[in-house]
Structure 1
């Protein structure tokens, strides 16, 4: 990923927070037909390994876990909020007319090697933890639990999934938040995003306020 210095985000806690808040990752690996990508929700164990460990499960019918035997290198992409930025929102545009549209976004690339886990204890524990977390995020007053389903049904489903464990070797973060614009242009874009009022626009505006500017 191309990361200009003014868009680089390397604070470990900030990178981990995005992964934990937006756990649906894009798992990219090399398969027999070239690059492959799968959209998978991940558990992130920040205490396992120097950069943390990602865990997930896929359908046994999905070839990704077999491909990992020959090509274990993997990249998982996590994306936070993003928003289109109109040049009309920059005051300097109305003076110079030398600005173009862009997109602001926050992403983390997690690099590592896939290890396949087929043992039932691993799978059962992983599914239980992911379920608890996702139900909590959904705000369910009575969260669904694995115990709500018949044991034989859960056991049958576990036979049809395979676990993936990726010890992260490198985290790369890019926070593209108009840090290369001057203060009045940044504030103009922030105000426009806040006026749009949707959750994603507001989240990008908040991140832009928090991002240290490259220029004064």
Structure 2
């Protein structure tokens, strides 16, 4: 993705946080059949490899895992985002030389994709994904709550994904290229908006 210097995120821990916070990623591979993309819940294991490893699974009927990938796979994670109206800028009142934009956080993780169907590895992946998304519930559901033969049958219908991260690109576009007065106006406007906008407001740099 295009990342101007003002918006470049270089803090790997911050990028990992964005990846953990994103409930759904888009996994893209380039193949002889063209670009293939599947939205997938993934989890990050930061202790594996030099930059971490991503795990998930997709349906066995999905052709993406069968098509050999040309080069690296790409996992796209989207963070908070919101529309920014020129009406919030102090510059609008001063010169009128302003246009709308969009503020957002995004992380692109690149690396080779490995697909596997070993039942023990698949069970470990679905168990960790389940624990990640059920853990905060008052009465979390666990994979072990389902009959073992039913779980085994479900595992036969999926294929695991292991993506070893070799390269990370991060972008945090939060009005860093605007004046302090313009940024203050953006933060105030977002804070008065809907839930999605309010999540972006604290990310606007004020100093």
> Deviation at 1:70?
4.6
Post-superposition CA distance 1:85-116 (Å, at most 9, x none): 00000011112111000000000000000011
Q: Is the 8 Å Cα contact of residues 72 and 114 (structure 1) preserved in structure 2?
A: no
Q: Is the 8 Å Cα contact of residues 19 and 44 (structure 2) preserved in structure 1?
A: yes
Q: Is the 8 Å Cα contact of residues 29 and 72 (structure 2) preserved in structure 1?
A: yes
* Structure 1 length-normalised TM: 0.92
Deviating runs (4+, > 6 A) in structure 1? none
Structure 1 unaligned spans of 5+ = none
Post-superposition CA distance 1:139-167 (Å, at most 9, x none): 31110011211111111000000001010
Structure 2 unaligned spans of 5+ = none
Are 2:159 and 1:162 equivalent residues in the alignment? yes
CA RMSD in angstroms, aligned pairs only? 1.3
Structure 2 counterparts to residues 92-171 of structure 1, below 5 A: 92-136=91-135, 139-171=136-168
SS in 2 for 1:76: strand
* Structure 2 length-normalised TM: 0.96
SS in 2 for 1:103: strand
How many pairs were matched up? 207
Q: Which residue of 2 aligns with 1:85?
A: 84
SS in 2 for 1:92: helix
